[in-house]
Amino acid sequence: MINMLAQRARTLTLLLAALWGPAMAADDPSVASDYQAVAGHTPATGDQPFVNPAPTDPRAPAPASVPVPVPVAPATVAAPLVEAPPPRHQRSLDLRVQPVPPSTAVPAPEPLSKPAPDPVPPPLGQAVEPVSGPGSAAILAACWTPEQLSGRPGERKIKQRQPADHSPPARLAPHHPAPPLGDAFARSLRSVTPFNGRKLIALTFDLCEQSNEVTGYDGELVDTLRAANAKATFYAGGKWMRSHPERTRQLMADPLFELGNHAWTHGNLRVLDGREMQDQIHWTQAQYELLREDLLARPCAQPHAAEGHDSIPVLPQTFRYPYGTCNAASLAAVAAAGLYPVQWSIVTGDPAAGQSAAQIVRGVLASLKPGAIVVAHGNGRGWHTAEAMKTLIPALRKRGYDLVTVSELIAAGTPHLVEECYEVKSGDNHRYDKLFGKGTE
């Protein structure tokens, strides 16, 4: 009887969502800014035909991609919610925090490995074994106990801050900047076509933090990834790293994880320009560099310092645009900072409270292709992200997929690069420019 009632309640919910959904226009600001609005939303995918079959030479220009209509599943009823705009104080949003269950056990880190691979595609046909992670298992084990690595209740909580914090990091530019990438990489990377048809997938989790908030750390998610021995990439805002220095150092040291740059305070790099745009990129690189130096200088890391110097990347190697927005100038600025502009090909829609774990799993599996990049959140903004990963990761492996970091994915295939940035199709995030302006106030 209880099952019947539950089934009926679910049917009613889906029916309401189906009716309610079409009324939510994609361009309606109240929808774009409302995390709760996407009940019944099935994530769409921007995973389009791969169009540049062989730019193994990074100097070779990649042909422009012609966006194609995104396949829409019958249950899709609302606008995609990828980089859900962070809450603004004038808007009323439900930011209640989901309770965090006791942390799961942390397995022994996998054996340490080679340094992070150089993200330049190897010759066609050469297999790339994604066995190495970007961190140091020895430092991770030496500097933290399993309890210290585990998530803690309440850590997911997102706190609003007034006045906003516009203070710069203690270092304004990295002391050891990366060499610029070629012009061919001043494009947004949507996905990769792995060599030899290998089934690789990169799970990514954004750690966004604006100037007027301190966002959370989804310990349940990180614990879940560790328990599953699942590789992932975290796109961390520079200010998020400063707000969460110990978590940042842990993620940095863990061979399962790679840290990418997600701008200083989640600035809109299609609207920002000049110094403000550059600061969003370089301050974040500098903050990472400071935290890495601090980690390697700790007594616990000293016995492994040489190894750590080699294996923990000096700087993030990839960049994710806040709001998924860019323009030619910011693409060029990111590439000039030695960063690959990385977007996604599969959207989980996890900032929507109505997006259940089951819907996230179904949406990803329905859009699955080798070389896919999945976007979700790890800063407490994803509602059912950890729960979804507990089902999704085994389901991916059952289908023959290996989880890799974004840098490993780039090294293992042909990148699919396009000239613009969008959520799932060309032009679909332009509304954010009017809604959020620079995104840094």
User: Contact positions toward Zn ion, by CB under 5 A?
Assistant: 83, 206, 208, 322
Q: Tell me the CA end-to-end span of the chain in Å, nearest whole number.
A: 52
Q: Which is nearer to Zn ion, 133 or 237 (CB)?
A: 237
Whether residue 218 contacts residue 246, with contact meaning beta carbons closer than 8 Å, is answered with no
Q: Which is nearer to Zn ion, 308 or 322 (CB)?
A: 322
Q: Which is nearer to Zn ion, 301 or 342 (CB)?
A: 342
Q: Which is nearer to Zn ion, 206 or 213 (CB)?
A: 206
- Please report how close the Cβ of residue 403 comes to Zn ion at its closest, in angstroms: 21
Structure tokens at 227: 């328990």
100: region left, alpha or beta (phi > 0 left; psi from -120 to 50 alpha): beta
Question: How far, in Å, CA of 418 to CA of 343, rounded?
Answer: 10
- The pair phi, psi for residue 204, each rounded to 5°, is -130, 145
Whether residue 411 contacts residue 122, with contact meaning beta carbons closer than 8 Å, is answered with yes
Grouping H, G, I as helix, E, B as strand and the rest as coil, residue 331 is helix
HSE-CB for 24 with a 13 A CA cutoff: 25
Question: How far, in Å, CA of 424 to CA of 287, rounded?
Answer: 31
Q: Which is nearer to Zn ion, 82 or 388 (CB)?
A: 82
- Please report how close the Cβ of residue 156 comes to Zn ion at its closest, in angstroms: 16
Contacts of 6 (CB under 8 A, 6+ apart): none
Nearest residue by C-beta to Zn ion? Answer: 208
**Which among 346, 355, 337, 331 has a CA at the least distance from the CA of 421?**
331
Burial of 127 (0-12, 13-18, 19+ CB in 10 A): exposed
Q: Which is nearer to Zn ion, 144 or 319 (CB)?
A: 319
Q: Which is nearer to Zn ion, 206 or 289 (CB)?
A: 206
- Please report how close the Cβ of residue 381 comes to Zn ion at its closest, in angstroms: 8
Question: How far, in Å, CA of 225 to CA of 223, rounded?
Answer: 5
Place of tokens 């190697």: 317
Q: Which is nearer to Zn ion, 144 or 321 (CB)?
A: 321
Q: Which is nearer to Zn ion, 213 or 408 (CB)?
A: 213
Question: How far, in Å, CA of 106 to CA of 104, rounded?
Answer: 6
- Please report how close the Cβ of residue 84 comes to Zn ion at its closest, in angstroms: 8
Burial of 97 (0-12, 13-18, 19+ CB in 10 A): middle
Q: Which is nearer to Zn ion, 138 or 208 (CB)?
A: 208
- Please report how close the Cβ of residue 379 comes to Zn ion at its closest, in angstroms: 8
Instruction: Return the amino acid letter for 121.
Output: P
- Please report how close the Cβ of residue 262 comes to Zn ion at its closest, in angstroms: 6
Whether residue 188 contacts residue 343, with contact meaning beta carbons closer than 8 Å, is answered with yes
- Please report how close the Cβ of residue 324 comes to Zn ion at its closest, in angstroms: 8
Whether residue 292 contacts residue 314, with contact meaning beta carbons closer than 8 Å, is answered with yes
CB neighbours of residue 274 within 10 Å: 9
- Please report how close the Cβ of residue 17 comes to Zn ion at its closest, in angstroms: 25
- Please report how close the Cβ of residue 269 comes to Zn ion at its closest, in angstroms: 11
Alpha helices by DSSP H, listed for 78-130, are: none
- Please report how close the Cβ of residue 12 comes to Zn ion at its closest, in angstroms: 33
Whether residue 257 contacts residue 421, with contact meaning beta carbons closer than 8 Å, is answered with no
